[in-house]
Amino acid sequence: MNEKVLKALNGQVNMELYSAYLYYAMAGYMQSINLPGFCRWLEVQAMEEVYHAFKLYRFINEKRGRPVMQPIEGPPNEWASPLEAFEAAFAHEQKVTASINNIVDLAAKEKEFATVAFLQWYVAEQVEEEASADAVVQNLKMAGGAGQALMMLDREMAARAFAIPQEMAAYVSAGGGAA
């Protein structure tokens, strides 16, 4: 596997795991201010991020590259309000999108076309990632910090569920040697 592309993919594994770390930090903050629905939504988001990292890690392995784990930066743990936290989440997702786009660009330049094809899933996923964070920002702006509106929103956020992606479930339950 092309060294520059491999380094960038390993960097993306780190960024996805940082995303999980950031969303767990935000989930903890939400629980601390009595918003269990927001907490759950963010816990599910963190699980999705672990899946994003897993999928990249597996791809690197399959391509016979070497997955190399780097230290994960400590995320912030405090925000002034749920709105501030979700604005930070939206800004973070925009950074993730830029990072994915840069790797697609690099992989195309280096003629790593399998990586270009693989990353299309992330390109599409980032549209959803940005849209879902932004939707929560807009809802929080509408609620305007009013207690009752926030409580209703919290109930809605609690409905988010995590379905273990088929590919991950199949890989884990297949046992040794399955690829």
Kindly tell me which residue out of 24, 29, 38, 49 binds ligand OFO, with binding defined by CB under 6 A.
49
* x-or-dash string of contact with ligand OFO, 19-38, rule CB under 6 A: x-------------------
What lies within 8 Å, CB to CB, of 84 at 6+ separation is none
Contact 29, 78 (CB under 8 A): yes
Please state, in angstroms and rounded to a whole number, the distance separating the CA atoms of residues 143 and 102.
36
Tokens 């996805």, residue located: 16
CB of 11 to ligand OFO, least distance (A): 13
Start-end of H helices in the chain: 3-32, 36-62, 82-109, 113-143, 147-157, 166-174
Short-list 12, 98, 25, CA closest to 55: 12
State which residue, 60 or 143, has the beta carbon closest to ligand OFO.
Answer: 60
How many of the chain's residues bind ligand OFO (CB under 6 A)? 7
Nearer to ligand OFO, 43 or 143 (CB): 43
**CA angle, 133 then 20 then 130, to 5°:** 20
User: Whose Cβ is closer to ligand OFO: residue 10's or residue 19's?
Assistant: 19
By beta-carbon distance, which residue lies closest to ligand OFO? 19
- Find the binder of ligand OFO among 93, 103, 137, 150 (CB under 6 A): 93
Site for ligand OFO in 104-163 (CB under 6 A): 129
Cα(23)–Cα(89) distance, rounded to whole angstroms? Answer: 8
Query: Which of residues 9, 13, 16, 57 is near ligand OFO by CB under 6 A?
Result: 16
Q: Site residues (CB under 6 A) for ligand OFO? A: 16, 19, 49, 52, 93, 96, 129
